[in-house]
A and B are shown apart, each in its own frame.
Chain A
Amino acid sequence: MAESPFKAEIERVQKEYSEKMTPGAIAVIPGSSVVNKTGSWRVFMPEFNRDKCVRCYLCYIYCPEPAIYLDEENYPVFDYDYCKGCGICANECPVDAITMVREVK
């Protein structure tokens, strides 16, 4: 899985923000919404079958998060920190390369 391009920023903000509660729960670092890992709400997760994929990028376009990146060979990569498991990618994929599976933590 490719790394999120925000990784360094996320880690910096997480560290600073997790240490102290500001009065009124004010987010003092602009862009700290990046650390809200909406992926934690997920019940189902997309499971990707690279062999079936035809690289049409419908999943990439339709993902509302957007939690799909492309790797060096232009195959989709899923960022599970932000993928909320809506299943739209699986629904849009014309060759059923994505299936939604129940996620067990």
Chain B
Amino acid sequence: MPIRKVMKANEAAAWAAKLAKPKVIAAFPITPSTLVPEKISEFVADGELDAEFIKVESEHSAISACVGASAAGVRTFTATASQGLALMHEILFIAAGMRLPIVIAVGNRALSAPINIWNDWQDTISERDTGWLQFYAENNQEALDLILIAFKVAEDERVLLPAMVGFDAFILTHTVEPVEIPDQELVDEFLGEYVPKHAYLDPSKPITQGTLAFPAHYMEARYTVWEANENAKKVIDEVFAEFEKRFGRKYQKIEEYRTDDAEIIFVTMGSLAGTVKEYVDMLREKGVKVGVAKITVYRPFPTEEVRELAKKAKVLALLEKNVTFSIGGALFQDFSRALINEKEKPVIVDFILGLGGRDVTFKDLDEALGIAQKALAGEEFDEVNWIGLRKEIL
């Protein structure tokens, strides 16, 4: 029987790692995800997880050790956040290019300067072009589930790409919620053992990994990463379906909530989706036609699903905890790209909010709604809006 325990998302991530039975975990502590490797080190020390726990001197080393371990042919896991993920940047490309199915749990946190340990999505969003798959969890249960799902997708022969699972700093990493821990046997059946077909260490069959590629091969190598990202779309759907069958929890690349007759759909990710669902419930009682679309899978970008979503609404209001300079938020760019050649398309309004742990309140959402309603009425509106900004101190 699955057991239910009250735990933080950090612990849920550690439990997911334990259930996935990685052979190597290399990690360096960083707020807010320190508890993930701490908890894993306990599992290893207590003999509950048979793995090599490597204590390294930086995140660059952590991911490098993971690349080495994964290239040797074992399931590999680490956790980080913010500056730590940024320090991994160089190696993230290498992991994707070498097609190593490493999984990272990321406690989504703002980037310096100024130093800020609280939540936004700038860290993972900044790594969106590394070739890694990206999943975003709304709550602690999703943090656990999506890590298991990430392993399954990453290790699929049609994909073979590393994956990161983001969950909001403090809002999830340090907040306790009931989480269902699935049975080990069921997880074993779901994930199976990782049997590497391409990357492994076998002295009797030597290969060279991380090679040099001349101009005659580099472009093709990059294309295979592109192709693997495209393949991942189908594989993710399959894995979501299998996960639902085995564990009873349903996941979709874009989860819709009360969108059916919505005129305005708020689009968001992570824990903010929970807040916005609550807000939408409140508005629905007043007869306002609004809905929510939650992006669970951000890379590969669910272009087809976005096009379907766009047919349902007159206005898409994107709520983003990240900044892409000159653009607005990253979602604004992605959504614009997905819809640019569609004949009928909704108006897109972009909102930047909640950066560096700023609370997103119903008052903020009222402000966003007001602007979205202007757009709906055909009035003039700003494409990019910073919500909850303390203009008086600027």
Contacts and interface: CB of A to CB of B under 8 A. Distances in A.
Interface of A: 21-28, 30, 32-33, 36, 40
Q: Which of A22, A26, A30 has the most CB of B within 10 A?
A: A26
Contacts of B207: 26-28, 30
Contacts of A24: 97-100, 160, 198-199, 209
A23 B225 CA distance: 9
18 contacts: A21-B217, A21-B220, A21-B221, A21-B224, A23-B99, A23-B199, A23-B224, A24-B99, A24-B100, A24-B198, A24-B199, A24-B209, A26-B199, A27-B207, A27-B209, A27-B211, A28-B207, A33-B208
Scoring A24, A27, A33 by chain B CB atoms within 10 A of each residue's CB, the highest score goes to A24
B211 A25 contact: yes
A97 to B, nearest CB: 32
A23 B160 contact: yes
Interface in B199-219: 199, 206-209, 211-214, 217
B interface majority secondary structure = loop
Interface residues of B, number: 20
Given A21-B220, A23-B198, A24-B198, 11 more contacts: A23-B99, A23-B224, A23-B228, A24-B100, A25-B211, A25-B217, A25-B224, A26-B211, A27-B208, A27-B211, A30-B206
Nearest to A37: B214
A20 to B, nearest CB: 10
A22 B228 CA distance: 13
Contacts, number: 46
A98 B99 CA distance: 46
Nearest to A17: B217
A26 B221 contact: no
A33 B212 CA distance: 9
B208 A26 contact: yes
Contacts of B97: 24-25
A27 B198 CA distance: 10
A25 B213 contact: yes
A22 B207 CA distance: 11
Contacts of B99: 23-24
A22 B209 CA distance: 10
